[in-house]
Amino acid sequence: KRYDFGLVGLGVMGRNFILNVADKGFSAFGHDLDGDKVASLLEEGGNTDKINASTDGKTFVESLSCPRKLMLLVPAGKAVDAVIEGLLPYLDQGDIIIDGGNSFYRDTDRRESYLKSKGIHFFGAGVSGGAKGARRGPSIMPGGSKEAYQEVKPIFEAVAANFNGEACVAYLGPKSAGNYVKMVHNGIEYGLMQLTSEIYDILKKAGNYSNPELQQLFDSWNRGRLQSFLVEITADILKKKDDKTEGYLVDMILDKAKQKGTGKWTSQNAMDLGIPIPTIDVAVSMRELSALKEERLQAHSMYPKKEFEKMDKEALGKWAEEALYFGFILTYAQGFHQLTEASKEYGYELNMPTVAKIWRAGCIIRAGLLADIAKAFDKNKSTTHLVLNEDFAAKIKPTLPAVRHLVAFAVNNGIPLPGLSNALTYFDGFTTNRLPLNLIQAQRDYFGSHTYERTDMNGIFHTDWEI
Ligand code: 6PG
């Protein structure tokens, strides 16, 4: 018997993905060097004729129907190269390898051209939605050879999340377009998470919100324009009691956030492209700052904070909703701006409405706002930045008084709101007709003869400033 689809890496994601493929009527064969993982998949799904698995690479490859379609869900980095090398001797020309992990886009480009020389198609397909998404329907972001995509399209469309009858998967573009889009997805994820944590903080510190009150507030937001997976799970998290103490679990969790690198890559690449994404940058920095726990404790005792002023609870709740909405919009705006520029620079041929559409369900950054973003890009094809889109201007403008009020309050009270204040500063910079960077140009020319341009005539100028 030959199987429709192969999957390498039977960790939680891989196992769930393969069970999802089988649920949709395709037969699938799993492979992992770890015998326990193979056994556990066979125990869960092996009783149907749809699922099989083996620790042996040759058996695995030979069990797949041609052209073989095999997906890797293994940790990004060396493991991907090792798996490819291990399976390569058994593969034939025309076979398709899909990398479903969070691989660095440049690694994907390297692997694609390496495998092309051997007649094998390789494409990176970001998969988002965590373990549950993999089982019930993730958002899938494939890029690479369009021809190869046609082979896996029916399987991906069946397993992907569904938004109003549309599958949350689409061919995005050539080369590493898929991994690149997934990387920026994760950068946006970092930004939205940072903003959510800041709003949670100010509600507690300035409004004395209790966990049940916060839970109710986030839950009500999730039924409005802030509807999103991250707001939804925040409400869930806030009601979880701790089984070791009397309190809530969230209060017992150490405030040091870890990261696996995709947010940092997004920021690093934005710098390379020359595209400002400060809300995402600061979200990465705050994870780094959070890790300096010992230093923070020492600094806290050296620079004691005065007691926080209090705000009217209800008014604060309303402002917080507006501020979070503004912050979410600006984070998506920065992420889409980066995608727009990267698409030109790397020749990805990305279509922004398509990206927004496949993020509407299944992935971690899914949100009601994405349907609005897809519509806005669709309606006005020349939109290069969401802040410049009329529909979004109408959403942003009314939130500004609340954002300014909250940021000013937080600054006066020593409550850090770096994501929100950066989003606001970015917005204020973006909407300023004349920035003081003329002075920077003058300084550069003063000390280094770096030249400057003038406002009133064309050309490149230099001045001997000391005379
Ligand atoms: C997803 C997520 C996922 C990512 C985690 C953890 O889309 O399902 O983005 O791919 O690995 O969110 O990322 P960090 O460990 O860097 O926070």
At 182-197, the pLDDT tens digits run 999 999 999 999 999 9
**Residue 35 falls within a domain, yes or no?**
yes
**Residue 436 falls within a domain, yes or no?**
no
The CATH number of residue 156's host domain is 3.40.50.720
pLDDT at residue number 467: 84
The CATH number of residue 449's host domain is 1.20.5.320
Q: Report the DSSP pairing between strands 162-163 and 166-167.
A: antiparallel
pLDDT above 80 for 25: yes
The CATH number of residue 263's host domain is 1.10.1040.10
Please indicate, yes or no, whether residues 139 and 226 belong to a single structural domain of this protein: no
pLDDT at residue number 46: 67
The string of pLDDT tens digits covering residues 80-92 is: 999 999 999 999 9
Please indicate, yes or no, whether residues 146 and 206 belong to a single structural domain of this protein: no
Of ligand 1's atoms, which has the minimum distance to the CA of residue 190?
A: 17
The string of pLDDT tens digits covering residues 370-389 is: 999 999 999 988 899 999 99
Q: How much is the average pLDDT of 54-72?
A: 98
340: tokens are: 């727009």
Report the nearest-CA residue for atom 9 of ligand 1. 186
**Residue 80 falls within a domain, yes or no?**
yes
CA 24 to chain centre: 27
CA distances for 67 relative to 6, 95, 404, 439, angstroms: 11, 5, 57, 61
pLDDT at residue number 333: 98
Distance 464 CA to ligand 1 centre (A): 53
Q: How much is the average pLDDT of 277-303?
A: 98
**Residue 237 falls within a domain, yes or no?**
yes
Query: Global pTM?
Result: 0.97
**Residue 390 falls within a domain, yes or no?**
yes
Please indicate, yes or no, whether residues 344 and 218 belong to a single structural domain of this protein: yes
Distance 133 CA to ligand 1 centre (A): 12
Report the distance separating Cα 167 and Cα 181, nearest Å: 17
**Residue 437 falls within a domain, yes or no?**
no
218: tokens are: 């986030």
pLDDT at residue number 381: 85
Q: Which residues line ligand 1 (CB under 6 A)?
A: 102, 128-130, 186, 189, 258-260, 262-263, 363-364
Q: How much is the average pLDDT of 384-411?
A: 97
Q: How confident is the model at residue 431 (pLDDT cuts 50, 70, 90)?
A: very high
**Residue 211 falls within a domain, yes or no?**
yes
Max CA pair span of the chain: 88
Q: How much is the average pLDDT of 111-125?
A: 96
Of ligand 1's atoms, which has the minimum distance to the CA of residue 363?
A: 7
Distance 414 CA to ligand 1 centre (A): 30
Task: Choose one of 127, 157, 175: the last residue of a domain.
Answer: 175
Please indicate, yes or no, whether residues 273 and 384 belong to a single structural domain of this protein: yes
Please indicate, yes or no, whether residues 296 and 151 belong to a single structural domain of this protein: no
Query: What residues are annotated to the active site?
Result: 182, 189
Give the domain extent around 426: 182-430
Task: Choose one of 113, 146, 175: the last residue of a domain.
Answer: 175
Please indicate, yes or no, whether residues 94 and 169 belong to a single structural domain of this protein: yes
**Residue 167 falls within a domain, yes or no?**
yes
Report the distance separating Cα 327 and Cα 196, nearest Å: 9
CA distances for 179 relative to 73, 128, 141, 376, 419, angstroms: 13, 11, 7, 24, 25
Please indicate, yes or no, whether residues 241 and 386 belong to a single structural domain of this protein: yes
The number of domains in the chain is: 3
Please indicate, yes or no, whether residues 309 and 268 belong to a single structural domain of this protein: yes
Please indicate, yes or no, whether residues 303 and 451 belong to a single structural domain of this protein: no
Please indicate, yes or no, whether residues 168 and 186 belong to a single structural domain of this protein: no
Contacts of 307 (CB under 8 A, 6+ apart): none
Task: Choose one of 132, 150, 175: the last residue of a domain.
Answer: 175
pLDDT above 90 for 95: yes
The whole-chain average pLDDT of the chain stands at 97
Contacts of 253 (CB under 8 A, 6+ apart): none
Of ligand 1's atoms, which has the minimum distance to the CA of residue 262?
A: 16
Of ligand 1's atoms, which has the minimum distance to the CA of residue 193?
A: 17
CA distances for 50 relative to 10, 18, 320, 427, 428, angstroms: 16, 10, 49, 52, 56
pLDDT above 80 for 48: no
Q: How much is the average pLDDT of 105-111?
A: 97
Q: Name the residue of 188, 189, 355 to mutate for ligand 1: max ligand atoms within 8 A of Cβ.
A: 189
